[in-house]
Structure 1
């Protein structure tokens, strides 16, 4: 009403001085309201609400499809209505009371956010804001990305303009998509040949820059607190303080007002590696971490790192997550498998020993079982995800599955480190878009991190991995929040050789990780006392297998390259 006279020059002319002043002030207020509505996407939200209100009741099939697409939202709403929320202490990571009280008191602004949060997710975002420089170590599948976006949206609503996300190249596209879909923030990829121009644009206009560890090294570090928050995804990639990427992240962390490290595997094998991450965040906490904390047990260790570390596990906070069935598929080596294995042992080639079971596809016992698993999944209309560390094994699997006479499902991939990140996400989208069974082949290092592949409910791991976290991350690509089907995991193993030795080693490493990275009452010894390097472990296994097979005079094993892709 006050703005009415501003509708035309004549009305403004005949209005009194006071009325004209009120009209101009009202017009300014209307401009501000409309600008905020435009930033928040209110017009699109109202249009969608209108469509939803005019739509008739859904039939059972449509309702089920919507549930599959948005199951996390359904479960979150049901938890609120029913009051069946997860255990509060578990949702808050079993932190000390003084820290939880400070986190609960932290306000969380949702005006720049387009997604609702689960209770534990809201706590994680508040933890990052209240503690300022932290590690979010939630288990895979609990929505660490959403929690980071919630913290960024809160800071943007408070006036911060510049943010930086550093992540592996494989998930850069996914991060950009998630920021744009889950918030009103501007996402700007700083990657590829035009990254310097994009960085200059980011410096001027702000937003969320999304870049890779290697690209970050080419950007100048902002002065002072020029970055409102630095988010580092898969932060265990910078645990080595001598690496150039680690030094670049440390420099950016020093110049950022807030820092959020995200990783489901912050400790992996040694407490010392975890300490190097903590040092980038809080030198005093890092200085207090020493071997005595490890020797005192995991409870003392978690207490020492509580100011900077929050971790929750799926079983504690996702009570609705479908069942996970893990099956070790033990197979006897065929005659040709045995010959290939002996040749690899004689040559002292650890990597060849691990994939010897696939050298002769026509008689491979593992490949025969893999075909059966894929065929059974196809008969049940299920999608299958096949992981291996080795590109040549994936090529063999692809040829075998495409050569099936009744080939029940299309085969996608393999996703490897040489596939550009945008193309990886495109392949995943095509795989998920198939109506009915399909198979996606993926190298475990390339696709075991960051990608969401809930379309698959059957997972096959072609050989045991040296690090248990690689297998955990791979399984979590399918068994995560949003999955509505039980997930079956089949690990293909052969008896009497390297697979048996690796499985025993994996069990020891997994118990160690559970004791220190999770909340636990066991494992009173420091991990440094029981762990050995991967190279030393490979050498030991080769020598023991040479002795077991009577090949003690064979070639001594050479140290293996870090990347089996080679």
Structure 2
């Protein structure tokens, strides 16, 4: 290559480097504004914490050796007061010497440092510090989901091309080539050749740098605009915030060797379009490092994002085919999540185009999404790099067709990821079945909770909302007890006499004109309307929802017989409605897989036969992305099947909390937690017949 060509090449490469440096500088400046807002909010949070700490906590830092009586006699009652004072000022207090003042000040500073390390940044509406943070985060989010990719590309261009341009400098002038040493001339020619080989690809990536710079330099949004955007996609804000602020990662209970493998596992994000929370990154790396696992994170923590992150990583390593198996109700949601959160192509193997979509997926690859009941139509193949089974508790019965199909696929695929928020609904044996699909050879200890936990730790990871979503708004639960109206009581008595358990459960709505439950529900909806809040009403029974709909008048209704595409459209329309709206949903239809965080009031018309059913339903609203306090109202009739159900099911709820919630499963007597629906109905009918009919 001649001198002129080399000079032209270096000039183009130099211009590209300048664009990359400009992008990096502008990104750093916008990011610095967000970090400054984070620091301001965190310091305020820490000061609030220290203001609540009694000065006696200083003793904890010094092993009880420090005396605080002199401080308290001088009116110093909190750690914050001590932290704000200098050692010299402390020394002026009666009874505090120079050495003691230094110890007191050091203890207060140590507590402040610990509080700062542990402080979670929580965004509060109508707070000026939170508003500054939301505005700063919006500038980064508005630059697009590809911003991290462009920043990395700019960094690569800068670090790769800068030394090459320096080495190529002599090749840009005949005089420099003549006066350069033989070694420098050789280095220059090699650098020019390398630049020539790299420039086309880098220039293609760099062609987007100017638009990214323009997006970053847009004027900040107003506070109102930023808050409106935060309401719409708050989970994106908190994911970005977690990246900036440094999130504590809850690792669950894992053996040291497993933890070491997970921490050493890389996670490539070239095919991913979403930032991960720290715990989500850990979950994805856990799935990759251990290969065949179950993630039992509580509902609302983004298990699907963890799965997509794992798929994207495998795609970056050259894998081409993936399979997601899920209930029919969430097929559309999975397709949208995959295409929104990654650059992977999703194929819906469901509906009229099933065969054509299957052929296309087999030829071109991507992520096939198939229903649990449709999986048996697909022939297991080792071409699939990872099998993801969502709502995996649906395959807990090994005798069912869906469980057999999943087992066959588990046998053919090397990497398997089960996702479920309820790994155990009725008995511990269900958990054993799920783990058995992953590793039939895994020996589960029966020697108590600790031994059980260790034996399953290599295949099971569980995190709860309170452990990782420190910003999640509170959930307020209220039991709304009412008495039967005369007509409803007559209907209830007749249902008891007929031993008709379903009619007993919905008797409180038998006469809508006089129903006490419906009256209370109407009051709750009217209160939500006055406050501009969205409401979800859950019931197991369609006729109950019909009665509610005729009373409150709403176009938004979900039931199990609605097509998944239509179901998602209804949810989207409900979420997009400004202000107040009411969504009616069968609890088995809306309680699984759908994101309903637009609503902050949840009304449950009757107790459910499985505690997990209600938990899942509530988690549709009280999940990552929720920005408002969630109100949960349970409509209950005194001296009825409602009361009997709550009493009997309390033991099942305690069992789930004890065994599954903490990744601390233990062998238990089946009688302690296993109550079939049929036995439950018969038990309650007999009790109510004795009470009402003698």
Shared fold per TM-score greater than 0.5: yes
The corresponding residue for 1:300 is: 451
Deviations 1:478-533 (A, max 9, x none): 00001010000000000001100111223211110011112288998434444221
Query: Which of residues 413, 433, 437 is equivalent to 1:276?
Result: 433
The corresponding residue for 2:274 is: 115
Q: TM-score, normalised by structure 1?
A: 0.86
For structure 2, the residue ranges without an aligned partner over 5 or more in a row are 10-189
The corresponding residue for 1:471 is: 614
- Is the 1:3–1:23 contact (alpha carbons within 8 Å) kept by the matching residues of 2? no
Q: C-alpha distance in 2, partners of 1:393/1:44?
A: 55
- Is the 1:512–1:523 contact (alpha carbons within 8 Å) kept by the matching residues of 2? no
The corresponding residue for 1:408 is: none
Helix, strand or coil for the counterpart of 1:230?
A: strand
Q: C-alpha distance in 1, partners of 2:486/2:209?
A: 64
Q: Does 1:517 align with 2:660?
A: yes
Helix, strand or coil for the counterpart of 1:505?
A: helix
- Could you say if the C-alpha distance between residues 46 and 120 of structure 1 is closer, same or farther in structure 2, counting changes exceeding 3 Å? farther
- Is the 2:334–2:369 contact (alpha carbons within 8 Å) kept by the matching residues of 1? yes
Q: TM-score, normalised by structure 2?
A: 0.70
The corresponding residue for 1:387 is: 538
Give, in angstroms, the shift of residue 26 of structure 1: 7.5
Q: C-alpha distance in 2, partners of 1:253/1:158?
A: 21
Query: Which of residues 418, 424, 427 is equivalent to 2:567?
Result: 424
Give, in angstroms, the shift of residue 50 of structure 1: 4.8
Give, in angstroms, the shift of residue 131 of structure 1: 0.4
Deviations 1:72-121 (A, max 9, x none): 233344445445x34x4xx1112222211211111111111111101100
Equivalences for 1:210-359 in 2 at 5 Å? 210-222=369-381, 225-285=382-442, 288-289=443-444, 292-293=446-447, 296-297=448-449, 299-359=450-510
- Could you say if the C-alpha distance between residues 51 and 372 of structure 1 is closer, same or farther in structure 2, counting changes exceeding 3 Å? farther
Equivalences for 1:467-546 in 2 at 5 Å? 467-519=610-662, 525-546=668-689
More relative contact order, 1 or 2 (CA 8 Å, 6+ apart): 1
Q: C-alpha distance in 2, partners of 1:346/1:438?
A: 39
- Is the 2:314–2:385 contact (alpha carbons within 8 Å) kept by the matching residues of 1? yes
Give, in angstroms, the shift of residue 161 of structure 1: 0.4
The corresponding residue for 1:9 is: none
- Could you say if the C-alpha distance between residues 509 and 78 of structure 1 is closer, same or farther in structure 2, counting changes exceeding 3 Å? same
- Could you say if the C-alpha distance between residues 23 and 43 of structure 1 is closer, same or farther in structure 2, counting changes exceeding 3 Å? closer
Q: C-alpha distance in 2, partners of 1:422/1:513?
A: 33
- Is the 2:557–2:585 contact (alpha carbons within 8 Å) kept by the matching residues of 1? yes
The corresponding residue for 1:68 is: 231
Give, in angstroms, the shift of residue 254 of structure 1: 1.1
Give aligned pairs, total.
513
- Could you say if the C-alpha distance between residues 523 and 546 of structure 1 is closer, same or farther in structure 2, counting changes exceeding 3 Å? farther
- Could you say if the C-alpha distance between residues 510 and 46 of structure 1 is closer, same or farther in structure 2, counting changes exceeding 3 Å? farther
- Is the 1:3–1:26 contact (alpha carbons within 8 Å) kept by the matching residues of 2? no
Deviations 1:223-246 (A, max 9, x none): xx3110000000001111110111
Give, in angstroms, the shift of residue 63 of structure 1: 1.4
The corresponding residue for 1:192 is: 351
- Is the 2:539–2:604 contact (alpha carbons within 8 Å) kept by the matching residues of 1? yes
- Is the 2:452–2:666 contact (alpha carbons within 8 Å) kept by the matching residues of 1? no
- Is the 1:3–1:27 contact (alpha carbons within 8 Å) kept by the matching residues of 2? no
The corresponding residue for 2:286 is: 127
Q: C-alpha distance in 1, partners of 2:371/2:241?
A: 38
Q: C-alpha distance in 1, partners of 2:298/2:632?
A: 18
Structure with more helix by fraction? 2
Q: C-alpha distance in 1, partners of 2:525/2:209?
A: 42
- Could you say if the C-alpha distance between residues 435 and 530 of structure 1 is closer, same or farther in structure 2, counting changes exceeding 3 Å? closer
Give, in angstroms, the shift of residue 301 of structure 1: 2.4
Q: C-alpha distance in 2, partners of 1:46/1:264?
A: 44
Q: C-alpha distance in 2, partners of 1:522/1:228?
A: 30
Helix, strand or coil for the counterpart of 2:274?
A: coil
- After superposition, the CA RMSD in angstroms is 2.6
- Is the 2:539–2:587 contact (alpha carbons within 8 Å) kept by the matching residues of 1? yes
Q: C-alpha distance in 1, partners of 2:208/2:541?
A: 46
Q: C-alpha distance in 1, partners of 2:384/2:208?
A: 30
Give, in angstroms, the shift of residue 540 of structure 1: 1.1
Q: Does 1:363 align with 2:522?
A: no
Q: C-alpha distance in 2, partners of 1:521/1:228?
A: 30
The corresponding residue for 1:11 is: none
- Is the 2:426–2:673 contact (alpha carbons within 8 Å) kept by the matching residues of 1? no
Helix, strand or coil for the counterpart of 2:236?
A: helix
- Structure showing greater Rg: 2
Helix, strand or coil for the counterpart of 2:367?
A: strand
Give, in angstroms, the shift of residue 142 of structure 1: 0.4
For structure 1, the residue ranges without an aligned partner over 5 or more in a row are 6-20, 403-410, 552-566
Q: C-alpha distance in 2, partners of 1:375/1:80?
A: 40
Give, in angstroms, the shift of residue 53 of structure 1: 3.1
- Is the 1:231–1:260 contact (alpha carbons within 8 Å) kept by the matching residues of 2? yes
- Could you say if the C-alpha distance between residues 485 and 256 of structure 1 is closer, same or farther in structure 2, counting changes exceeding 3 Å? same
- Is the 2:428–2:668 contact (alpha carbons within 8 Å) kept by the matching residues of 1? no
Which stretch of the first structure deviates more once superposed, 358-367 or 245-254? 245-254
Q: C-alpha distance in 2, partners of 1:310/1:32?
A: 41
Equivalences for 1:390-405 in 2 at 5 Å? 390-402=541-553
Helix, strand or coil for the counterpart of 1:549?
A: helix
The corresponding residue for 1:201 is: 360
The corresponding residue for 1:564 is: none
